[in-house]
Amino acid sequence: MSDKSDKNERFTHNDVQVVAREQCFKGFYSIQKYHVKHRLFSGGWSNVIQRELFVRHNATCVLLFDPVRDKVVMVEQFRIGAIREANTPWLLELVAGLNGEGEAPGEVARREAIEEAGCEIKELIHICSYLPSPGGSSEKVDLYCALVDSEGIGGIHGLEDENEDIRVHVIDWTEACDMVKNGKINNAASIIAIQWLQLNEAKVREAWSRRS
């Protein structure tokens, strides 16, 4: 039996056995229960363990950045996942949306920027892909930074048939950074994107200045 205690040797799907899978709930999202066993770092196999998996569509989030005016465009909306937050369940977030069947993440970013913020994307930079909650959710997020013109952007947006009620904010770039620092922006995608832009600001500005 293999021993993968060597830190340089990585486990793969071949090191997991799905013994059984149950459908617990199916709606817009679904919940499945997996019965699995997996190889151990010290060698051998685990006992069969049960884990519920929240099955979500993959999503795309995009930070809309106007380097000319030093602004970022963000959206505010009610989030049920924040219903127990002490301050408010309305969060300041990136433009974001679920990926449709066969829809590329870059296409989602452009579509959602128009739907949620009335804003047209000029250029896109892919920041990363990440799993926001792999302990219990299948969702993967593609994160982008986009070049936009923030002049005249604002108002209330969203699709009525999706019960969206979205308020657009155009925020000074330095203020957005401060809002991450003081916890006023408290969701993962926004924090990751803003901190990425802080690290890469000079490079992004230089690249986009050559395109203008």
Mind spelling out the 3-state secondary structure of 10-37?
CCCHHHEEEEEEEEEEECCCEEEEEEEE
For the chain, what is the total number of helices (H) and then of strands (E)? 3, 11
Catalytic member of 9, 52, 162, 206: 162
> How far apart are alpha carbons 28 and 25 in whole angstroms?
10
d(CA 205, CA 34): 46
Catalytic status, residue 162 = yes
* Alpha carbon 176 to chain centroid, angstroms: 18
Q: Are strands 166-172 and 71-78 parallel, antiparallel or unpaired?
A: antiparallel
Strand pairing category for 59-66 and 141-147: parallel
Which residue numbers are catalytic? 162
